[in-house]
Structure 1
């Protein structure tokens, strides 16, 4: 009887995509700050 691999939780597939999307979000955040001249808190109206 073959064991089925879990598709939920901390799997290599999920962690790989989580890392990729985090890097993409970081780059977009830095680019937005550079283009607008405002930090993220200023953009959100918190400062």
Structure 2
């Protein structure tokens, strides 16, 4: 099978790699936002 016909959805390496990359980006963005504003994530959305 070639890469173009293989699945990119579900629990495949391609999807898991991108899921990990996006999760790391979200964590870093959340941390930077917390440092810049002085409020936690829950405080920023009005729950804390």
Q: TM-score, normalised by structure 1?
A: 0.84
Q: How many residues align?
A: 45
- Residue of structure 1 equivalent to 2:39: 38
- Alignment RMSD: 1.4
In our comparison, the structure showing a higher alpha carbon Rg is 1
Q: Which runs of 5+ in 2 are unaligned?
A: none
Q: Which runs of 5+ in 1 are unaligned?
A: none
Runs of 4+ aligned residues of structure 1 deviating over 4 Å after TM superposition are: none
